[in-house]
C-alpha cells in the first residue's frame, strides 16, 4: 500500500506572470497529485498532496525544470498533515506585502509567431498576440501581485473564447494576463500628425508602409514607448529625421525583420547572433560591412551599427509588409525620456512625424530598448532596459534595512535592496532636462509602490551638482530619520562589478570613465583602486590635467588636447606645432586658452581617461568637436587598424600614471590609424603593468571607458593569456547605469553589522 504525504512549497524569484501556475497544474495532473497554488506577495504558495514517491518526483522536477521566463531564487518546503484533498486547484491571489519580482517585457515567442502566420488561426495577423511565455509585462503593470485587474489590460473585457483559454489550465494562455484577440483586444489606429484618427485596424500597417516608402517619418508605439521610424535605406529620409529630431550624429538603431537580412549588412559572430536572437531581443552593436545598402547617415564616420530584430507582433507584421529595414530610435527630442503617449507625440514631435501608428493599451511604465555589445569574448551591457529590467539579483545575505540608491546623473537608474534582493530599475537616462528628472521621480514612485518600499537609507553620489544628489539631500531634510550616505563615483563603479559577481574580497579595480567627483573635490576618471565592498584606497591615477572651459572641454576634444600640450610646451612652442589640434584654433584663441590654463580660470583639474580619448582623437585629427558622448572612443576604434602590441611610452611612479611621453610621440606620428592603435595598446599595457604589481588581487574593469570594444578585447585577451582572474560586468551596465547597483552593494555591507 502506498503512503501519502502533503507538503507546502514556497517559491520566490520571477514566478508570477510567467506561466508558473499552469505549469504546476499540469505537472500535478501528470503525477496524479492534488493540492493548490496561488500567487502571494512573496511569490508562489503551493500545496501538494498524494503518493509519497510522486510528491518527491514533483519536487525534483520543480528544481530542475521551470517555465522559460521564470527564475527560482528560493524554494522551501515543509511537511503538513494530509487532508485527503481531491484535485488540483489554482486559488485566487492573496494580496499581501508585495516583494515578488516583476518580469520584464518579452519578445514574441515562436509558438505565438507561428499562430500569427497561420491563416487558419483565429489570431492570424493579430498585432497583439501573446501568451504566458511572451508579451508585455513591466510596461503594463500598475501594482503587484501581477493579475489582469492590476495591468492596463483591465480596460479590455475578455471575449468568451479568450476567457475560456484564460481559464483552462491546459491551455498555453492559461492566466496570460495580457491575453486578447481581434474581437476583445486593443485596437490599432493610424493618426495624422495632429492626432486625428485616419484609419483603424490592421489596414493601418499598410498605410504606414506606404508612407515609409515615400520617405516619410512616422511614430510607432512599441512595448515600452514610441519609436521614430523611417526607411533605413533612404538617405534623405534619415537625414531629415536627424535634422528634425535635433540629433546630428549619434548613431541610430536599425530594426530588421530577420537574422538573414542582418547578415546581408554585417558579419555576425556566433556570440552576436545569440544576443540578437535572444528572447529579450536587444539592440546589438555590431560591425557593418564596408559597402551596405543602408543610409550612410545612420552612423556617420563609424563602422559599427546597432541592430535588432522586430520583437512585437506589430513590428513583425510591419516589416513583413515593408520588406526592408527601418530606423527605429526612441521617440523623444534630443536626450529626453522616451515618449509613451500619442498626445505627447502630437505636442512635441508634430513637426517630425507625418503619421502615428498606435493602439489603445496604455503603457504604464516606460522602457527603452536595451543595448548590448560583444567585445572579444566578452558581452557588455551598455543600456539595461526592455527584456532585462527590472533586474533582480539575489543578495548574499538578508538586508535588514531598506536601502535606495539613486545612481549618477547620466544614464541614470535606481536600485533598491529589500529582503534578500537587489532590484535594479531600467535605464532612466541623462538627467539633463526637467522631463528626464520627472521620469526619474516617476520611476522612484513606481518602484516604491510596487514593493511597498520606504527607504531607511538613501545612497547617492558625492557630486553636489548631480540632480540625484540634490534629490537625496532634499529627501533627507524632509524626512530626518532617513540616513543619507554618499559614495564616491569610481568606487561605486568598482562595487558594481563586485555586486554582479557577489565578490567580497579585495580587488584591484581599474575605474576609467568620463568624469566623476573625486574625494578632494577634483574630478576623477582614471583611477586604480584597491577595493572591497566596505572600503577602498586609491593606489594609482592618471596625471591630472585641466579641462579648459569646464563643461565646454567635454564637448570639444581639442580643448583637452591643447591643455595637455600646455602641460608640456610653452605657449611659443605650441604656436609653432604643426598638428590638427593647434590648427583648429586661431592664434588669438590659442592665447586666450593659454591664459585660462595659466591663471586657472574655469579649468577644473581631471584625471579622466575618457577625456584622454578625446585628447588623442583631437591630436590625431580624428575629431575636434564631439557630436555625442563617447564619440571619440568610437572614432578611435574605427580608425585603429587593429591594436598591435606596439605602445607609446609612459611612466608610472608610486602614484601617478604619466602619459606625457605618449603625447610627445603622438606629435611625431602622422598616421591616424597608427596613433589610434598604439593608444589602445598603451592603455592596455598600463593596465597590465599595474596588475603585475599586485599579482595576488583579482582585476576588476569598470566605468564608461570599458564600453570600448577594442580596449576590452585587447585587455581581456591579455589577462586571459596570463591566467589572471578578472571581472567585467556583463549583465549590468559597465557605464554610469551601474552606479546605483555599486552604491547599494557598498551600503548593504556597511549597514550589515549596524
**Least distance (Å) between residue 610 CB and Fe ion:** 8
**Least distance (Å) between residue 717 CB and Fe ion:** 24
Among residues 147 and 736, whose Cβ is nearest to Fe ion? 736
Among residues 173 and 558, whose Cβ is nearest to Zn ion? 173
Q: With contacts defined by CB under 5 A, how many residues of the chain interact with Fe ion?
A: 3
Tell me the three cell numbers of residue 511. Answer: 575605474
Name 561's Cβ contacts closer than 8 Å, sequence gap at least 6: 581, 614, 615, 616, 618, 619
Q: Return the range that interacts with Fe ion (CB under 5 A); candidates 100-108, 251-259, 412-420, 505-513.
A: 505-513
109 binds, among Zn ion, Fe ion, none (CB under 5 to 8 A by kind): Zn ion
112 binds, among Zn ion, Fe ion, none (CB under 5 to 8 A by kind): Zn ion
Name 519's Cβ contacts closer than 8 Å, sequence gap at least 6: 462, 488, 538
Q: Are 513 and 525 in contact (CB under 8 A)?
A: yes
Binding site for Zn ion (CB under 5 A): 109, 112, 131, 133-134, 159, 162, 181, 184
**Least distance (Å) between residue 648 CB and Zn ion:** 54
**Least distance (Å) between residue 450 CB and Zn ion:** 24
346 binds, among Zn ion, Fe ion, none (CB under 5 to 8 A by kind): none
Q: 239 phi and psi, to 5 degrees?
A: -60, -40
Name 128's Cβ contacts closer than 8 Å, sequence gap at least 6: 178, 180, 185, 186, 313, 314, 359, 361
Among residues 148 and 448, whose Cβ is nearest to Zn ion? 148
**Least distance (Å) between residue 487 CB and Fe ion:** 12
Of the candidates 190, 193, 236, 196, which has an alpha carbon nearest to the alpha carbon of residue 214?
236
Of the candidates 382, 393, 202, which has an alpha carbon nearest to the alpha carbon of residue 308?
382
**Least distance (Å) between residue 405 CB and Fe ion:** 14
Binding to Fe ion by residue 430, rule CB under 5 A?
no
Among residues 57 and 181, whose Cβ is nearest to Zn ion? 181
Name 196's Cβ contacts closer than 8 Å, sequence gap at least 6: none
From the CB of residue 289, how many other CB atoms can be counted at a distance below 10 Å? 13
Among residues 280 and 461, whose Cβ is nearest to Fe ion? 461
134 binds, among Zn ion, Fe ion, none (CB under 5 to 8 A by kind): Zn ion
Give DSSP secondary structure letters for 85-145: --SEEEPPPPP-------PPPBPPPHHHHHHHT-TTSTTTT-TT--BTTBB-SGGGB-SSS
Taking the C-alpha atoms of residue 615 and residue 666, their distance in angstroms, rounded to an integer, is 11
49: β partners = 6, 34
SS (H, E, C) 689-735: HHHHHCCCCCEEEECHHHHCHHHHHHHHHHHHHCCCCEEECCCCECC
**Least distance (Å) between residue 440 CB and Fe ion:** 17
688 binds, among Fe ion, Zn ion, none (CB under 5 to 8 A by kind): none
Among residues 166 and 501, whose Cβ is nearest to Zn ion? 166
CA 691 to each of CA 212, 682, 725, 729, 749: distance values in angstroms, whole numbers, following the listed order: 53, 14, 11, 18, 26
Q: Are 699 and 686 in contact (CB under 8 A)?
A: no
231 binds, among Zn ion, Fe ion, none (CB under 5 to 8 A by kind): none
**Least distance (Å) between residue 32 CB and Fe ion:** 57
Q: 602 phi and psi, to 5 degrees?
A: 45, 45
**Least distance (Å) between residue 180 CB and Zn ion:** 5
513 binds, among Zn ion, Fe ion, none (CB under 5 to 8 A by kind): Fe ion
Binding to Fe ion by residue 234, rule CB under 5 A?
no
**Least distance (Å) between residue 309 CB and Zn ion:** 15
**Least distance (Å) between residue 156 CB and Zn ion:** 9
Taking the C-alpha atoms of residue 76 and residue 91, their distance in angstroms, rounded to an integer, is 19
**Least distance (Å) between residue 705 CB and Fe ion:** 9
x/- mask, Fe ion, residues 690-729, rule CB under 5 A, reads ----------------------------------------
Tell me the three cell numbers of residue 128. Answer: 497583439
Give the footprint of Fe ion on residues 456-485 (CB under 5 A).
none
Among residues 107 and 744, whose Cβ is nearest to Zn ion? 107
527: β partners = 511, 541
Among residues 162 and 327, whose Cβ is nearest to Zn ion? 162
430 binds, among Zn ion, Fe ion, none (CB under 5 to 8 A by kind): none
Q: For residue 511, give the H/E element and its range.
A: strand 507-517
Name 506's Cβ contacts closer than 8 Å, sequence gap at least 6: 530, 531, 532, 697
Among residues 138 and 512, whose Cβ is nearest to Fe ion? 512
**Least distance (Å) between residue 387 CB and Fe ion:** 24
The residue count for the chain? 754
DSSP 8-state class, residue 460? E
181 binds, among Zn ion, Fe ion, none (CB under 5 to 8 A by kind): Zn ion
184 binds, among Zn ion, Fe ion, none (CB under 5 to 8 A by kind): Zn ion
Q: Which residue is nearest to Fe ion (CB)?
A: 513
Give DSSP secondary structure letters for 191-231: EETTS-EEEESTHHHHHHHHHHHTT--EEEE-SSSEEEEEE
234 binds, among Fe ion, Zn ion, none (CB under 5 to 8 A by kind): none
Q: Return the range that interacts with Fe ion (CB under 5 A); candidates 215-223, 510-518, 717-725, 726-734.
A: 510-518
Among residues 70 and 707, whose Cβ is nearest to Fe ion? 707
Instruction: Taking each helix axis as running N to C, give the angle between helix 672-693 and helix 660-667, from 0 to 180 degrees, rounded to the nearest 10.
Output: 160
- Edge-first strand order for the sheet with 71-80 is 71-80, 4-14, 43-51, 34-40, 88-90
105 binds, among Fe ion, Zn ion, none (CB under 5 to 8 A by kind): none
Q: Return the range that interacts with Fe ion (CB under 5 A); candidates 516-524, 538-546, 665-673, 690-698.
A: 516-524
Q: Return the range that interacts with Fe ion (CB under 5 A); candidates 215-223, 398-406, 626-634, 733-741.
A: 733-741
**Least distance (Å) between residue 492 CB and Fe ion:** 8
How far from chain centre, in Å, is Cα 233?
27
**Least distance (Å) between residue 86 CB and Fe ion:** 60
Q: Are 88 and 19 in contact (CB under 8 A)?
A: no
**Least distance (Å) between residue 163 CB and Zn ion:** 8
**Least distance (Å) between residue 489 CB and Fe ion:** 6
Among residues 118 and 236, whose Cβ is nearest to Zn ion? 118
Taking the C-alpha atoms of residue 632 and residue 614, their distance in angstroms, rounded to an integer, is 5
736 binds, among Fe ion, Zn ion, none (CB under 5 to 8 A by kind): Fe ion
Among residues 234 and 335, whose Cβ is nearest to Fe ion? 335
Q: Return the range that interacts with Fe ion (CB under 5 A); candidates 261-269, 509-517, 665-673, 689-697.
A: 509-517
Helix (H, G, I), strand (E, B) or coil at 501: coil
Among residues 54 and 132, whose Cβ is nearest to Zn ion? 132
162 binds, among Zn ion, Fe ion, none (CB under 5 to 8 A by kind): Zn ion
131 binds, among Fe ion, Zn ion, none (CB under 5 to 8 A by kind): Zn ion
Taking the C-alpha atoms of residue 329 and residue 139, their distance in angstroms, rounded to an integer, is 18
Among residues 183 and 477, whose Cβ is nearest to Zn ion? 183
Taking the C-alpha atoms of residue 747 and residue 403, their distance in angstroms, rounded to an integer, is 8
Which of 513, 556, 614, 629 is close enough to bind Fe ion by CB under 5 A?
513
Binding to Fe ion by residue 736, rule CB under 5 A?
yes
390 binds, among Zn ion, Fe ion, none (CB under 5 to 8 A by kind): none
Among residues 154 and 249, whose Cβ is nearest to Zn ion? 154
Sign, CA dihedral 266-269-272-278, equals positive
Residues near Fe ion (CB under 5 A): 513, 516, 736
Amino acid at each position: 500500500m502506498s503512503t501519502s504525504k502533503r507538503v507546502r512549497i514556497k517559491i520566490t524569484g520571477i514566478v508570477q506572470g510567467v506561466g508558473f501556475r499552469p505549469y504546476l497544474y499540469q505537472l500535478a495532473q501528470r503525477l496524479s497529485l492534488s493540492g493548490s497554488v496561488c500567487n502571494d506577495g512573496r511569490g508562489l504558495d503551493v500545496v501538494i498532496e498524494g503518493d509519497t514517491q510522486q510528491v518527491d518526483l514533483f519536487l525534483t522536477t520543480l528544481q530542475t525544470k521551470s517555465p522559460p521566463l521564470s527564475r527560482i531564487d528560493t524554494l522551501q518546503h515543509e511537511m503538513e498533515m494530509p487532508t485527503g484533498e481531491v484535485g488540483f486547484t489554482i486559488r485566487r491571489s492573496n494580496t499581501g506585502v508585495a516583494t515578488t519580482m516583476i518580469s520584464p517585457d518579452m519578445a514574441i515567442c515562436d509558438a505565438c509567431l507561428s499562430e500569427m502566420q497561420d491563416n487558419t488561426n483565429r489570431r492570424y495577423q493579430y498585432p497583439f498576440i501573446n501568451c504566458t511565455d511572451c508579451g508585455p509585462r513591466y510596461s503594463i503593470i500598475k501594482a503587484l501581485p501581477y493579475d489582469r485587474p492590476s495591468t492596463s489590460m483591465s480596460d479590455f473585457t475578455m471575449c468568451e473564447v479568450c476567457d475560456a483559454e484564460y481559464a483552462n489550465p491546459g491551455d498555453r494562455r492559461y492566466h496570460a494576463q495580457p491575453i486578447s484577440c481581434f474581437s476583445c483586444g486593443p485596437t490599432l489606429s493610424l493618426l495624422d500628425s495632429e492626432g486625428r484618427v485616419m484609419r483603424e485596424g490592421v489596414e493601418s500597417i499598410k498605410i504606414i508602409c506606404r508612407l515609409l516608402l515615400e520617405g516619410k517619418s512616422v511614430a510607432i508605439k512599441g512595448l515600452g514607448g514610441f519609436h521614430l521610424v523611417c526607411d533605413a535605406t533612404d538617405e534623405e529620409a534619415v537625414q531629415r529625421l536627424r535634422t528634425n529630431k535635433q540629433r546630428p550624429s549619434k548613431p541610430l538603431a536599425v530594426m530588421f525583420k530577420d537574422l538573414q537580412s542582418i547578415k546581408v549588412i554585417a558579419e555576425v559572430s556566433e556570440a552576436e547572433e545569440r544576443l540578437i536572437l535572444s528572447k529579450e531581443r536587444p539592440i546589438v552593436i555590431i560591425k557593418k560591412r564596408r559597402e551596405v545598402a543602408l543610409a550612410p547617415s545612420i552612423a556617420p564616420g563609424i563602422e559599427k551599427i546597432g541592430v535588432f530584430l522586430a520583437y512585437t507582433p506589430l513590428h513583425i507584421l510591419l516589416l513583413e509588409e515593408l520588406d526592408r529595414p527601418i530606423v527605429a530610435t526612441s521617440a523623444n527630442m534630443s536626450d529626453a525620456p522616451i515618449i509613451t503617449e500619442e498626445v505627447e507625440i502630437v505636442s512635441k514631435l508634430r513637426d517630425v512625424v507625418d503619421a502615428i501608428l498606435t493602439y489603445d493599451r496604455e503603457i504604464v511604465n516606460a522602457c527603452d530598448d536595451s543595448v548590448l555589445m560583444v567585445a572579444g569574448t566578452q558581452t557588455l551591457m551598455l543600456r539595461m532596459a526592455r527584456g532585462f529590467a527590472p533586474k533582480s539579483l539575489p543578495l548574499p545575505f538578508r538586508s535588514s534595512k531598506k536601502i535606495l540608491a539613486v545612481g549618477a546623473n547620466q544614464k541614470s537608474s535606481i536600485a533598491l535592496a529589500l529582503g534578500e534582493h537587489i532590484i535594479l530599475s531600467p535605464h532612466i537616462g541623462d538627467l539633463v532636462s526637467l522631463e528626464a528628472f520627472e521620469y526619474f521621480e516617476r520611476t522612484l514612485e513606481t518602484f516604491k509602490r510596487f514593493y511597498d518600499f520606504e527607504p531607511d537609507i538613501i545612497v547617492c553620489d558625492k557630486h553636489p551638482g548631480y540632480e540625484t544628489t540634490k534629490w537625496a539631500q532634499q529627501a533627507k531634510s524632509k524626512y530626518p530619520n532617513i540616513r543619507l550616505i554618499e559614495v564616491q563615483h569610481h568606487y561605486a563603479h568598482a562595487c558594481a562589478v563586485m555586486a554582479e559577481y557577489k565578490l567580497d574580497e579585495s580587488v584591484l579595480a581599474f575605474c576609467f570613465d568620463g568624469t566623476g567627483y573625486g574625494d578632494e573635490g577634483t574630478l576623477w576618471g582614471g583611477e586604480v583602486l584597491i577595493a572591497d565592498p566596505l572600503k577602498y584606497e586609491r593606489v594609482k591615477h592618471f596625471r591630472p590635467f585641466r579641462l579648459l572651459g569646464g563643461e565646454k572641454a567635454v564637448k570639444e576634444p581639442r580643448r583637452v588636447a591643447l591643455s595637455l600640450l600646455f602641460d608640456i610646451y610653452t605657449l611659443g612652442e605650441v604656436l609653432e606645432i604643426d598638428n590638427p589640434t593647434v590648427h583648429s584654433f586661431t592664434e588669438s584663441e590659442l592665447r586666450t586658452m593659454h591664459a585660462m590654463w595659466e591663471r586657472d580660470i574655469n579649468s577644473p583639474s581631471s584625471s579622466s581617461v575618457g577625456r584622454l580619448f578625446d585628447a588623442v582623437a583631437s591630436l590625431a585629427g580624428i575629431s575636434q568637436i564631439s557630436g555625442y558622448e563617447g564619440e571619440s572612443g568610437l572614432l578611435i576604434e574605427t580608425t585603429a587598424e587593429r591594436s598591435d602590441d606596439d605602445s607609446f611610452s609612459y611612466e608610472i611612479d608610486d602614484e601617478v600614471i604619466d602619459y606625457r611621453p605618449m603625447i610627445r610621440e603622438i606629435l611625431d606620428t602622422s598616421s591616424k590609424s597608427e596613433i589610434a592603435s598604439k593608444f589602445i595598446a598603451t592603455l592596455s599595457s598600463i593596465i597590465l603593468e599595474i596588475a603585475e604589481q599586485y599579482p595576488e588581487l583579482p582585476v576588476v574593469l569598470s566605468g564608461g571607458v570599458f564600453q570600448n570594444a577594442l580596449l576590452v578585447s585587447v585587455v581581456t585577451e591579455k589577462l586571459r593569456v596570463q591566467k589572471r582572474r578578472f571581472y567585467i560586468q556583463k549583465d549590468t551596465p559597465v557605464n554610469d547605469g551601474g552606479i546605483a547597483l555599486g552604491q547599494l552593494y557598498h551600503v548593504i555591507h556597511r549597514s550589515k553589522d549596524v
